[in-house]
Chain A
Amino acid sequence: MKELICICCPQGCHLFVDEENDFAVTGNSCERGAEYGRTESMAPVRVLTSTVTCEGGAISRCPVKTKDAIPKGKIWEAEALVKQTSIKAPVQIGQVVIADIAGSGVDLIATKEIGALK
């Protein structure tokens, strides 16, 4: 039996996940909690947000995020790739910065528009 605090809403339910019984969740107040308990126990995922170097723009850092959540185990590998990456202004919101980051099947995208310096 594994104990988790649900992060779906501020209520913060204490979930109990039975790994030996098909990851059955108890202690949840809603269906989202049950889903979170299952995913978090079987294959936890997170959205990674960070910044990459941006050249020729009004600012030198461009904020980025993974378009969807990626496996928690791939966060460090993804962040290492982010650190090596540099892009050139102009940058559009949603522009793909690294496709299929760390083999997760998820793209890393820019989250800010950065105009090129004249």
Chain B
Amino acid sequence: MYDLIIIGGGPAGLAAAKAAWDKGLTKILIVERNWELGGILNQCIHNGFGLHHFKEELTGPEYAARYIDEVEKTGVEVRLDTMVLDIRQTERKEDGLPVYEIPMAGKECGYTCELTKSVVLAMGCRERPRGGVVIPGTRPAGVFTAGAAQRYVNIDGYMPGKRVVILGSGDIGLIMARRMTLEGAKVLACVELMPYSSGLNRNIVQCLNDYDIPLYLSHTVTEIRGEKRVEQVVVSEVGPDRKPIPGTEMVFDCDTLLLSVGLIPENELTQGAGIEIDRRTKGAFVYENMETSLPGIFACGNVCHVHDLVDFVSDESERAGASAADYVLKKKAVSEAAPVVTKNGDGATYIVPQRIRPENVEKFVKLFFRVGRIFPKADIVLTSAGNEIARFHKKFLAPGEMQNIVVTKEVLSKATEELLLTVEEIVETEVGA
């Protein structure tokens, strides 16, 4: 019987394992489907990781190594090349806690079932595939997600193509524009449906501008041409309704189209276990301690909501791991009171955590959210039962950058049942006539 089984050995799983061990859990197992720990960081060879967490700029493999080294110093067990197949509730109880059964299949362990008192879901996310964006045209080879291309280039050492168009301006797309250019490909264009890029400014400067790669905002790919291999893609401008404007077509002769059109949390196991999913985050509903709707099962990192910075994944996962330890060691009383439910109002697209048990909050709780459009200046307003209970002034809010506000226990005590978060834009008016 394990105290804790962590599903996924990427940045989320590693940070959760370390935190749970430090809090006193001793029987911890990480199950990782790849042959090594570190998850997607292994193929993110560019730098810029760790600015918040380690106060220095690391590459992905270096950031992963820091955590792998920490976990290797503990007694945490790791099973590589092993895939979890299901999460099952059992009739059994251990120390009064429900016991979960985790069937898995692996290179070393074969098919086996392990029992555990708690679980941390740290499966991460996957890229939205071509089927997730409607692009008319044929089905030739040469259409890849940006992350798949990143793996081919950085791990396997293959170049997926020579003349490239990138659809979507998410950070992976921008990073791959530079990477493919350095490896000798010609990147003809980066095409973004929205009037703004969803990537970080620094990546637009360092990855596109440095290499003179044009960024077409308010444009999209309207056709893919080619029989066996991509031969051309057609790009059109879109109107404010995001529909292509006829007559604006540009044709690019290329052999490759990379898609960087969003990430989706990988929650098949979560759903199979009967855990409630938030359709906004596409991750589990979580409480203030990252616990899901099933007691003793926690979620953190990109499986819970997609992050832009790994530093925040590590922070969140350390909280999830510590919470799992508190749960197993019964450091906190189980609350019977109804939780405060957080709701995203105008201007916000989601909030994590979705539920808060005020008596479980020691000093404060951080609310993480995203805005629906660009706000140069705005107030984040919290209301409950029609009364404003807090207001936070913020600058430069963009959908591509996750925001957070700190809600103190005192502010939280004014909330009843529901806590509504809205974004009010502040429009500057000229003073004087």
Residues of chain A whose beta carbon lies under 8 Å from any beta carbon of chain B: 5, 7-8, 10-12, 46-51, 53, 58-61, 63, 65, 72, 75, 79, 93, 111-113
Contacts and interface: CB of A to CB of B under 8 A. Distances in A.
Contact of B182 (A5, A50, A72): A50
Contacts of B36: 58
Contacts of A11: 395-396
B360 to A, nearest CB: 31
A2 to B, nearest CB: 13
Contacts of B46: 49
Interface in B143-166: 153-157
B154 A61 contact: yes
B201 interface: yes
Interface string B47-60: 10000000001010
Interface string B182-213: 11000000000000000011101110001000
A45 B35 CA distance: 36
Contacts of B395: 11
Given A46-B206, A47-B47, A63-B61, A10 B157 contact: no
Most buried by A among B62, B154, B155, B204: B62
A63 B59 contact: yes
A111 B396 contact: no
| 4 A-B pairs closest in CB distance | A7-B202, A12-B201, A63-B45, A112-B61
A79 B180 CA distance: 12
Contact of B210 (A46, A50, A93): A46
Nearest to A8: B202
A49 B59 contact: yes
B45 A111 contact: yes
B83 interface: no
Interface of B: 35-36, 42, 45-47, 57, 59, 61-62, 65, 153-157, 182-183, 200-202, 204-206, 210, 395-396, 398, 401
Given A12-B201, A12-B396, A49-B47, A7 B206 contact: yes
A66 B194 CA distance: 35
B57 to A, nearest CB: 7
Nearest to B400: A10
Contact of A53 (B155, B157, B202): B157
B57 A111 contact: no
A43 B283 CA distance: 45
A61 B45 CA distance: 11
B182 A60 contact: no
A79 B182 contact: yes
Nearest to A44: B210
10 contacts: A7-B205, A46-B206, A46-B210, A49-B59, A50-B182, A51-B45, A53-B157, A61-B157, A93-B61, A111-B62
B155 A61 contact: yes
Contact of A47 (B57, B182, B204): B57
Contacts of B401: 10
Nearest to B201: A12
A59 B57 CA distance: 24
Contacts of B61: 63, 93, 111-112
A110 B398 CA distance: 35
Given A12-B201, A93-B65, 17 more contacts: A5-B204, A7-B206, A10-B396, A11-B396, A47-B57, A50-B182, A50-B183, A51-B157, A58-B36, A60-B156, A61-B154, A63-B154, A65-B45, A75-B182, A93-B62, A112-B61, A112-B62
Contacts of B154: 51, 61, 63
Most buried by B among A51, A75, A79: A51
A5 B65 CA distance: 32
Contacts of B157: 51, 53, 60-61
Contacts of B62: 93, 111-112
Contacts of B398: 10
A47 B59 CA distance: 11
Given A53-B157, A93-B62, A111-B59, A65 B47 contact: yes
A107 to B, nearest CB: 15
A59 B158 CA distance: 13
A48 B59 CA distance: 11
Contact of A7 (B35, B45, B201): B201
Contacts of B183: 50
Nearest to B62: A111
A93 to B, nearest CB: 6
Nearest to B209: A5
